[in-house]
Amino acid sequence: MKTTRFNVALIFLCAALPGWVPTLHAADARSDATLNIAYGNRPGTLDPYLTTNNATSDVDRNIFEELFVINDKFEPVPELAASYQVSADRLVYTFALREHIVFQNGQPLGADDVVASMNRWLALSTQGKANLPGAHFDKIDPLTVRLTLKTPSLITLNILADVKNIAAIMPKNIIDQANDTKNPVTELIGTGPYRLAEFKQGEYLHLTRYDGYVARDEAPSGLAGKKNAYVKDIYFRYITDESTRLAGALTGEYDLVFNLPKDNIDALKQAPGLQLYTPDSGGSLITYLFNKKTGPFADAKLRQAFNTALDVNSVLLAGYSDPRFFTADSSLGFPQQVDWYSQAGRPFYNINKLDEARKLVKESDYKGQEVVIIATKEYAELYNLAIVAQQVLKQIGVKSRLDVYDWPTVLQRRQDPANFDLCALEFSMRQVLHQYPFLDSRANFPGWSNSPAIDGVLDQIKLAPSLKQAKPLVDQLQVLTWQYLPVIVLGHTTPEPIAIKNTVKGYTDLIGPVLWNVQVADK
């Protein structure tokens, strides 16, 4: 490609923009390139219906496609759906499927596959159970399916386009083998631009280009539009040690490095051969999650005592070390989410009154039991928050212990309410508040919320004619959440910087890495 004086000036101008990663001309992209990714956490399962874990969804979005995905404006738009219609009563959605789509095992995509996949997703996923209860898919003809709801929902397409509990479309025979149970699917077969080549548990996961992929024609936007598998092979290298990931970024061993140690961000800015990319949107809710089914925190008064004791700014500094990496905020929504952001819960936030907290402990049913805080060192910030929680509990006269495991073990153990009472968790930003699984009792998410009042307001929001008209309900939801305390919202993370080698072009991010359309240049 000929480089003119104008080209050079434009490149330098764009390079000065935050979050901009240049692209190569398609003809200059290496078709045999390998992308090596240093990733800090290991997936417990790769079945997208059974988890909301980032380590699963960041891989699965390359293998699987959905009926709908979100674009860079967080709007749900068709992916495997070619078109759709909604009935006047908003109870029936009819989806025409794209033609000539072939699964990675050679089977053509048809309505039977979509119906089997989506009905299993509705039955097993936190999103399906909480937000589309009683809904079901049916086949109309070989390339048309119908979704029937029990009640109208303002957020149906947002739920179908969930970025974490992915509503992945798989071949019917694979779904049938899983028997609609909680057993993971036996094979990962989708219609996406990459297929699973090998998964060596705890070490690496290898994706390779799916040559039969049929892309959409629209321009790329977020998770939507045209997907080009420019890179042939992608390796997720599971490197749980921060210093090892840092060293790999500095030496160029890895093309992309996630979960960077925050104390070294400034040093990385000066490192030769790489750039730091910060996503334009995203971030996560920072929370303490309570087990509300059994144990000491089944008593709301003890949850309130812990919340009353917290000095939120000190807690966040202990966890994240620098105010650049977090914002103290009481809202479930993020400020840019104008329909969902609310400060109605502020009176319950950052109270920091130890004497009042100790009084609440005495008024509660707490009888000296040991609170179990479950944690992992694989998420350094969350481990720090767990230590702070133990210190705060001690200050208000509550005994506790820290049970530390690797991340997959945490995911497995937290399924049983007998195994923990408290943990620190981040929840990736979602399009709508209903997608946070800790809110709705019907999701049956670890923590086991059981608030009919919260469930009722969530349902009222879904029935509203518009989000604007639902705003008073959003405020009410915030207040109810702070009164019931399924979690304590500490604040929001700012999007984490990612170290990218200068040879990597076209990387984008939307609540996780977008690896299609990425290109690798010669050194």
Amino acid at 139: K
CATH of the domain at 472: 3.10.105.10
Query: Does residue 10 belong to any structural domain of this protein?
Result: no
Place of tokens 């530390």: 404
CB-based contact 40:202 (threshold 8 Å): no
Name the domain count of the chain: 3
Q: What is the pLDDT of residue 24?
A: 53
295 and 271, same structural domain? no
124 and 198, same structural domain? no
CA distances from 155 to 76, 83, 276, 284, 444 (A): 10, 18, 35, 21, 20
Taking the complete model, does pTM exceed 0.85, yes or no?
A: yes
432 and 369, same structural domain? yes
What tokens were used for 243? 């210093």
pLDDT 10s digits, 83-121: 999 999 999 999 999 999 999 999 999 999 999 999 999
Structural domain harbouring 203: 24-40+193-279+500-523
Mean pLDDT of 317-327: 93
The conformational region for residue 2 under phi > 0 = left, psi -120 to 50 = alpha, else beta, is beta
Geometric angle at alpha carbon 236, from 233 and 239, rounded to 5°? 145
202 and 165, same structural domain? no
Q: How confident is the model at residue 2 (pLDDT cuts 50, 70, 90)?
A: very low
Query: Does residue 123 belong to any structural domain of this protein?
Result: yes
198 and 88, same structural domain? no
Query: Does residue 307 belong to any structural domain of this protein?
Result: yes
CA distances from 13 to 16, 428, 521 (A): 5, 32, 21
Q: What is the pLDDT of residue 180?
A: 59
Indicate the average pLDDT of the chain: 92
pLDDT 10s digits, 359-410: 999 999 999 999 999 999 999 999 999 999 999 999 999 999 999 999 999 9
Res. 349: pLDDT tops 60: yes
Of 126, 149, 179, the position where a domain reaches its end is 179
Q: What is the pLDDT of residue 6?
A: 32
Q: How confident is the model at residue 37 (pLDDT cuts 50, 70, 90)?
A: very high
Mean pLDDT of 165-178: 94
314 and 260, same structural domain? no
Percent of residues, the chain, with pLDDT higher than 70: 93
367 and 263, same structural domain? no
156 and 201, same structural domain? no
Of 179, 205, 239, the position where a domain reaches its end is 179
Percent of residues, the chain, with pLDDT higher than 90: 82
289 and 271, same structural domain? no
The dihedral of CA 125, 122, 428, 235: what is its sign? positive
User: Helices then strands (H, E): number in the chain?
Assistant: 15, 23
CATH of the domain at 96: 3.90.76.10
The dihedral of CA 433, 439, 440, 443: what is its sign? positive
User: Alpha-carbon distance 340 to 333, whole Å?
Assistant: 5
CB-based contact 95:81 (threshold 8 Å): yes
Query: Does residue 51 belong to any structural domain of this protein?
Result: no
416 and 291, same structural domain? yes
pLDDT 10s digits, 439-483: 999 999 999 999 999 999 999 999 998 888 999 999 999 999 999
Place of tokens 């604007």: 468
Res. 27: pLDDT tops 70: no
Query: Does residue 186 belong to any structural domain of this protein?
Result: no
Query: Does residue 457 belong to any structural domain of this protein?
Result: yes
Which string of DSSP letters, residue by residue, matches 273-333? Answer: TEEEE--SS--EEEEEEE--SSSGGGSHHHHHHHHHH--HHHHHHHHHSSGGGEEE---SS
Q: How confident is the model at residue 186 (pLDDT cuts 50, 70, 90)?
A: confident
Q: How confident is the model at residue 153 (pLDDT cuts 50, 70, 90)?
A: very high
Query: Does residue 54 belong to any structural domain of this protein?
Result: no
203 and 102, same structural domain? no
Amino acid at 185: V
- Weakest mean pLDDT among 12-21, 149-158, 466-475: 12-21
CATH of the domain at 275: 3.40.190.10
CB-based contact 368:362 (threshold 8 Å): no
User: Alpha-carbon distance 304 to 485, whole Å?
Assistant: 7
CB-based contact 259:493 (threshold 8 Å): no
Mean pLDDT of 297-304: 98
Query: Does residue 386 belong to any structural domain of this protein?
Result: yes
Q: What is the pLDDT of residue 18?
A: 40
349 and 261, same structural domain? no
Q: What is the pLDDT of residue 268?
A: 87
Of 179, 211, 246, the position where a domain reaches its end is 179
